[in-house]
């Protein structure tokens, strides 16, 4: 069975939900793919208020290991903790601020390249 999918206006993949085959409206049958995958991982429907977080921040990376189900408070904490880490990296010079954007410093690029080369 081929699943029809496309990107929605928010940049997420949406897929035709097989559990909605009896619904009359075709558009209401499309659900965010990451939510369908999370439901399959959990073996149940998502509860009201549950959020599926993309760990790497890439909305289209719907691999199981990149998805984490959490509530709104946990989701805010995940983003807050990432921002705190980024600010610590900025303070020690591993992230730089130029042209109204944050960038990886040359020093951090060297560290990353050394790790990738192992």
Q: Are residues 59 and 88 in the same domain?
A: no
Q: Are residues 45 and 64 in the same domain?
A: yes
Q: How far apart are alpha carbons 85 and 59 in whole angstroms?
A: 21
Burial (CB < 10 A; 0-12, 13-18, 19+), residue 105, is: middle
Q: Which domain holds residue 63?
A: 5-70
Q: What is the pLDDT of residues 47-58, one digit of tens each?
A: 999 999 999 999
Q: What is the pLDDT of residues 56-108, one digit of tens each?
A: 999 999 999 999 999 999 999 999 999 999 999 999 999 999 999 999 999 99
Q: Are residues 64 and 86 in the same domain?
A: no
Alpha helices in the chain (DSSP H): 33-42, 72-91, 106-116
Q: What is the pLDDT of residue 95?
A: 96
Last residue of a domain, one of 34, 51, 70: 70
pLDDT band at 1 (very low <50, low <70, confident <90, very high): very low
Q: Are residues 20 and 34 in the same domain?
A: yes
Q: What is the pLDDT of residues 6-29, one digit of tens each?
A: 899 999 999 988 776 666 666 678
Q: Are residues 47 and 101 in the same domain?
A: no
Q: How many domains does one find in the chain?
A: 2
């Amino acid at each position: 069975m081929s699943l029809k999918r496309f990107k929605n206006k928010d940049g997420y993949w949406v897929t035709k939900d097989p559990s909605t085959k009896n619904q009359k409206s075709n558009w209401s049958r499309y659900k965010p793919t990451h939510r369908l995958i999370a439901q399959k991982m959990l073996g149940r429907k998502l509860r009201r208020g549950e959020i599926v977080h993309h760990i790497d921040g890439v909305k289209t990376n719907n691999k199981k290991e990149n998805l984490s189900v959490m509530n709104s408070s946990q989701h805010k904490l995940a983003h807050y903790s990432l921002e705190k880490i980024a600010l610590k990296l900025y303070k020690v010079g591993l992230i730089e601020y130029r042209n109204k954007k944050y960038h990886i410093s040359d020093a951090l690029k060297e560290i990353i390249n050394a790790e990738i080369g192992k």
